[in-house]
Structure 1
């Protein structure tokens, strides 16, 4: 009898657990809105939907494959290095065209970033919104030269500065 009691308690515990699960489980009606609210998994081009204030409502986010490294020069010497990761918010379907011209786009972005560094854009409080806003605007103009109006935003994914 002493060896049988633990087995009976185990079976009773399992039965109670299954019963509680059935009673407390959400109904099928409750599952549907939760499933509809889930964000679809991102594919290679990171497709995302946006509902408010947008013409098409759908964008792709294309990440430039490598970080940008920008030297900050002071008194003819490198005083700091800034690293930055960028992505573009674009109209769906231009991913192939983007990846074909990415080297050209990276070159133009680097020139904008170098110019920004040379006018002191990465000095002091370089992460102020007005400072980064001007940089985003300049990068957007360059992106639109190559990709047209299909580019709606340039997103700064990360930025850091390492003083030497």
Structure 2
């Protein structure tokens, strides 16, 4: 029985990892229709940029990167006191032609981003090894959802260009 226990633990761990990978996999990429296949949908979405895979060399021409003007300062509170400060700089990847919309809505975007970052800090997201891939991915997704609520589906990705934590 003592020799069987490590094998059982390994199998259970493997199955748990496979299950987590299955349920946490990224959403499938939207299919790009050929010009002849579009039909009635083409008339409804005329003028709306379509997403193309990044492997295509033309993908760069369909997006803009907008650096938000000021940094974000997020306090990390422990036991009712500010234990550290996190300073971040963000850029937003948007569809081409959305630059003016982003700058027009920048105060709303900053407010939404700050709320997401405060929630992330309160949940312990900036404690310990806060730059781990999983932690940063969760933060980027939450920031992208906040951007989608403010400017719609024009936001494609959030880029964290700088991040620093200063412990008190």
Taking structure 1 as the reference length, what is the TM-score of the superposition? 0.67
Match of 2:166 in 1: 162
Q: After alignment, is 130-139 or 92-101 more displaced?
A: 92-101
From 83, 92, 95, the counterpart of 1:91: 95
Specify whether residues 51 and 136 from structure 1 end up closer, same or farther in structure 2 by C-alpha distance, changes over 3 A only: closer
From 115, 127, 131, the counterpart of 2:131: 127
From 149, 155, 161, the counterpart of 2:153: 149
2: distance between equivalents of 1:125 and 1:86? Answer: 20
Structure 1: gaps of 5 or more residues = 1-49
Taking structure 2 as the reference length, what is the TM-score of the superposition? 0.65
Q: SS of 1:126's equivalent? A: coil
2: distance between equivalents of 1:113 and 1:54? Answer: 34
Specify whether residues 124 and 155 from structure 1 end up closer, same or farther in structure 2 by C-alpha distance, changes over 3 A only: same
Instruction: Please give the per-residue CA displacement for 1:88-115, whole angstroms capped at 9, x wherever unaligned.
Output: 0011111111111100110010000000
Structure 2: gaps of 5 or more residues = 1-52
From 70, 73, 77, the counterpart of 1:66: 70
> Are 2:165 and 1:140 aligned?
no
Deviation at 1:157, TM superposition (A): 0.4
RMSD between superposed Cα atoms in Å = 1.7
Moved over 6 A (4+): none
Q: How many residues are treated as equivalent by the alignment?
A: 115
